[in-house]
Amino acid sequence: MPNLGYLRELLIIKEREKWLTIQTFMAEDIIRTYVDQKLRQLKWRELREEEVEFLFLQEKRAARANRRSLALFGVVTAITAAAIALGVNYLNLRSDLITTTSEINTLQEELNTLTTNNNEKQVDVESNINYQEIYDKAVNEYGMTYPDANNIVEYDGGTLGYIRQYENIPNN
């Protein structure tokens, strides 16, 4: 029969070896992580010294570009707003023009109709005038005659083309 004490000691030794192996791997991972961090920090310090100026200049250029693009955006927005305002104003004026043109056409049609009606009524009135009857009535009923040379009185009435008589015309 095998010796139990011996087997127990062998089992304890194997467990310790296993534990030591795990501890070794853990220590190696910790050391590897620490070394990686230190290497990154060193690289960053080297990069920092060389690239901090470059990064600063890049940020400065980006800020300047942002200010320029903001100013450009403002200008484009103002131009767009002005174009929209002009377009709306143009459309309003165009609408007013169309409305006014329509009103003018309507009024011209009405004027043409009234002129035609007026001309027709004037023709009717003139065609209904019997000049012979007027002459007969003037001569026979009222005793009118054509004027002689001594019945004509010349009178200076100005430049209006007509005379309004407010009193009797003098005989001389």
Contacts of 138 (CB under 8 A, 6+ apart): 144
Tens-digit pLDDT profile for residues 44-79: 666 555 666 776 777 778 778 878 888 888 889 999
3-state secondary structure (DSSP) of residue 41: helix
Of the candidates 129, 158, 156, 160, the one whose C-alpha atom is nearest the C-alpha of residue 169 is 156
Q: Biggest alpha carbon distance in the chain?
A: 188
Cα of 84 vs its chain's centroid, Å: 2
- Ordered per-residue pLDDT tens for the chain, 172 residues: 556 666 677 677 777 777 767 777 777 777 777 777 777 776 766 655 566 677 677 777 877 887 888 888 888 999 999 999 999 999 999 999 999 999 999 999 999 999 999 999 999 998 888 899 999 999 999 988 888 887 777 766 666 667 777 777 766 6
* Chain position carrying tokens 């200010």: 67
